[in-house]
Amino acid sequence: MTEAANIAVRRAWPAERAFYLGMTAAMAAALLLGFSRSFFLRPLFPEFAAAHAPAERYFYLVHAPIFTLWFVLLMVQPGLVAAGRVRLHRRLGWFGAVVAALVVVAGLLAGLIAARRPAGFIDVPVPPLQFLLHVVALLALFGGFVAMAVVTRRDPQSHKRWMLLASINLVEAAVVRWPFDAMAAELPAPGYMGKDLVLFLFLAAMIAWDLRSRRSIHRATLAGGMAIVLAPAVVALLWETRGWLAVAGWAVGLLGK
C-alpha cells in the first residue's frame, strides 16, 4: 500500500468508527426495547412473564443473557482494535465464536419451546409450526454469516461487514417483540412482516456507508443483504408444505408434553 493510500485509510478511520458505533448503538437500543418486557425490565411486566410456564421462564433467563452477550462483544471488539489491543481482540474473537454457537443452540431451543405452546410465539400471528421455520432460517443465516466472518478474519473490511450482517439478522428476534402491532403485522408480500422493514433500514445504512466510503457496494454487504431480504420469501414458500410441518412437529415432539 502506498503512503497516500495509508493516509487515506487513516483519515477514514474516524468516520468508520462512528458508523460502526452508531450501528451497534442502534442495535443495542433495538435489543433493549424488544426484550425489555421479558428480561431487562421483567419485574415491571408481570403479565408478560405469566404467559410463560415456570420452566420456560427459567430457560429464558439463560437465553436472553446469551443473546445480550453477543451484542456486548459486538460493541467491545471494535474498541479493542481502536485501542491497539489487536491480540486481545483476536483471542476474544474465538470466545465470540463459542458465544455464536450458544446463540444458535439457545435460539433453536427457544423456538421449539414457543412452537410447543398452544398460543405459539407471543405477539406473532403466524401458526407456530410455520413460524418455527422462520426461526430456523434466521439462526442458519446467523451461523453462516459468523462462519464467513471467521473465514475472512484477515480481511478486515469483509470481516467487519459479515459480523454486522450476522448481528442485523439476529436483532430481528428483538424487533418482532417490540410493543407495536405493526412489527408483527403481515405485509402484502407473503412471508414479510413489519419487522422486516426495520432490518431493511439497517441494510440501507450499510449500503449508504459502502457507497460513501468505497463508492461501491462491498461484496459481503451485497451477498449478506440479499440473503436477509430474500429469506422471508423463501420461508413463505416452504412453511406450509407437508414436509416442513412433519419435520417441525417431530422436532417439537422431542421436548415432550
Q: Give the contacts of 185 (CB within 8 A, at least 6 positions apart).
A: 193, 194
Residues 6+ apart with CB under 8 A from 255: 112, 113, 116
| Rounded Cα gap, residues 6 and 123, in angstroms | 50
- pLDDT digits 0-9 by tens, 180-196: 888 888 888 888 989 99
First-to-last alpha carbon distance for the chain, in angstroms, is 62
Percent of the chain's residues with pLDDT above 70: 88
The verdict on residue 216 lying in a domain is yes
- The answer to whether 221 and 206 have CB atoms below 8 angstroms apart is yes
Residue 3 lies in a domain: no
Element (DSSP H or E) covering residue 46: helix 46-49
Please report which confidence band the pLDDT of residue 150 belongs to, taking 50, 70 and 90 as the band edges: very high
What is the arithmetic mean of pLDDT over 89-116?
Answer: 90
Whether 192 maps to a domain, the answer reads yes
How far are the Cα atoms of 19, 94, 236 from residue 153, in angstroms, in the given order? 20, 11, 33
Checking if the pLDDT of 48 tops 80, the result is: no
Nearest to 182 by CA among 192, 169, 171, 173: 192
- The whole-angstrom separation of Cα 119 and Cα 51 is 9
Is the pLDDT at 6 greater than 50? The verdict is no
For residue 154, being part of any structural domain is answered with yes
Which DSSP letter does residue 187 get? P
The length of the chain is: 257
Q: Is residue 21 part of a domain?
A: yes
φ and ψ of 193, to 5 deg:
-125, 175
Q: CA-to-CA distance for 95 and 52, rounded, in angstroms?
A: 31
The answer to whether position 144 is within a domain reads yes
Looking up cell 407437508 gives 242
What number is the average pLDDT over the span 238-253? Answer: 94
215 C-beta neighbours (distance < 10 Å), count: 7
Q: What is the pLDDT of residue 57?
A: 62
DSSP 36: I
Domain count, the chain: 1
Residue 173 has pLDDT above 60, yes or no: yes
Structural domain span for residue 247 = 16-253
Residue 203: enclosing H or E segment and its boundaries?
helix 194-214
Is residue 97 in a domain? yes
Residue 8 included in any domain? no
